[in-house]
Amino acid sequence: MSRIGKKPVPVPSGVTVTLDGQTVKVKGPKGELQTKLVDLVNVKQEGDDLVVSPVDQSKPARSAWGLSRTLISNLVIGVTDGFTKKLEINGVGYRAALQGQGLQLNLGYSHDVVYAIPQGIDITVPKPTEIVVSGIDKQRVGQVAAEIRGWRPPEPYKGKGVKYADETIFRKEGKKK
> Per residue in 72-119, pLDDT tens?
999 999 999 999 999 999 999 999 999 988 999 999 999 999 999 999
Would you say the C-alpha torsion 82, 85, 86, 89 has a positive or negative sign?
negative
Q: pTM, whole model, 2 decimals?
A: 0.89
Burial label, 104 (beta-carbon count in 10 A; 0-12, 13-18, 19+):
middle
What's the confidence (pLDDT) of residue 5? 87
Asked whether the beta carbons of 46 and 19 are under 8 A apart, the reply is: no
d(CA 164, CA 132): 10
CB atoms within 10 A of CB 162: 24
What's the confidence (pLDDT) of residue 1? 64
Average pLDDT over residues 141-155: 96
pLDDT at 2 over 80: no
Domains contained in the chain, CATH given? 3-80 (3.90.930.12), 83-164 (3.90.930.12)
Residue type, 83: F
Asked whether the beta carbons of 165 and 126 are under 8 A apart, the reply is: no
